[in-house]
Homo-oligomer: A and B are copies of this chain.
């Protein structure tokens, strides 16, 4: 055991596992990465369906960017655009089941984000008290 050949094999397997993980995360980032996609899905999961509603909830997003993000989300099977005839016509966006497969990711990020915010807050408090 522990000879150089075995180490080589272990190291190779390890590198491959690393590549698998990197590829998976890279795929995920390609589909849901960027500043807005997850936020839009979260907002919609909380009941926001109209363009303007979503824009109000996801603070900082412009109409142009929201428009293009919604298109991408639709193309990738996360949401669907529904146009209801009438006067005036109303347009609503709805989550498709595939969006719900993201629940674990959103949950993990929410949890981490809250801890991170708390950490930053604590650090700021400490550095402020040190300055006295």
Chain A residues at the B interface, C-beta cutoff of 8 Å: 14-15, 17-29, 31, 33-35, 38-39, 42-43, 46-48, 57-59, 98, 101-102, 104-117, 119-120
How many subunits of this chain does the assembly comprise?
A: 2
Decide: A46 near B113, CB < 8 A? Known: A22-B57, A22-B58: no
**Which chain B residues lie closer than 8 Å to A114 at the CB level?**
20, 24, 27
Q: Interface majority SS on A: helix, strand, loop or mixed?
A: helix
Compute how far the CA of A102 lies from the CA of B112 in the bound complex, rounded to whole angstroms: 7
The residue among A21, A29, A102, A117 with the most chain B CB atoms within 10 A of its own CB is A21
Bound-state CA distance A27–B107 (Å) is 14
Chain B residues near A23 (CB-CB < 8 A): 113, 117
